[in-house]
Structure 1
Amino acid sequence: MSDWTWEYNPSEEHVAHGFPPGVVAEVERLAVELAALGPDAATVGRPIDRDGGLREFDILNGRGFISFLAVPRQQCVYVCNITWYG
């Protein structure tokens, strides 16, 4: 089990405001799973040709995606953006 955590960046209000509750719940569920991966979270999603940096991961069967950063130094996954096609 990982000691990593996750947070919205810059804030939950900025990133998740206005999205349906089910979308936010799915994003938070995925964030918990990404944090559980620890440093391996830097290899999840796109881009597939390199590790680290801003990553993207599909949500709800391709109906949107999240953008996140996995920061090993802070042992944290930061959810930076949600894109929802509805």
Structure 2
Amino acid sequence: MSDWAWDYNPSEEYLTAGLPPGVVAEVERLATELAALGPEAVRVGRPIDREGGLREFDILGGRGFISFLAVPRHACVYICNITWYG
């Protein structure tokens, strides 16, 4: 288990406005799992040919995705964007 945390960037209100509660719950579940990976979170999701930078991870069977940054010096995963196709 890692001592990493996760947070919304810029804010929860901005990123989750208008999303169904189930989508928000899934995003928060995935963010918790990403934080548990700790430094390995820089290798999760797309792009698969390099690590670091803004990454993407599908949610709910491909009906959307999250964009996130894993920042080792902050020991934090930042959720930067949520795209939901519905």
- Which TM class, normalised by the smaller chain length? over 0.9
Q: Deviations over 1:19-75 (max 9, x none)?
A: 000000000000000000000000000000000000000000000000000000000
- Deviant stretches of 4+, over 4 Å: none
1:13 is matched with which residue?
Answer: 13
Normalised by the length of structure 2, the TM-score is: 0.99
Equivalents in 2 of 1:66, 1:12: separation in Å? 13
What is the letter of the counterpart of residue 83 of structure 2? T
- State the identity as a percent: 81
Unaligned runs of at least 5 residues, structure 2: none
Normalised by the length of structure 1, the TM-score is: 0.99
Equivalents in 2 of 1:13, 1:77: separation in Å? 17
Q: Report deviation, 1:10.
A: 0.7
The SS at the match of 1:38 is: helix
| RMSD, aligned α-carbons | 0.3
Unaligned runs of at least 5 residues, structure 1: none
Alignment of 1:3-82 (within 5 A): 3-82=3-82
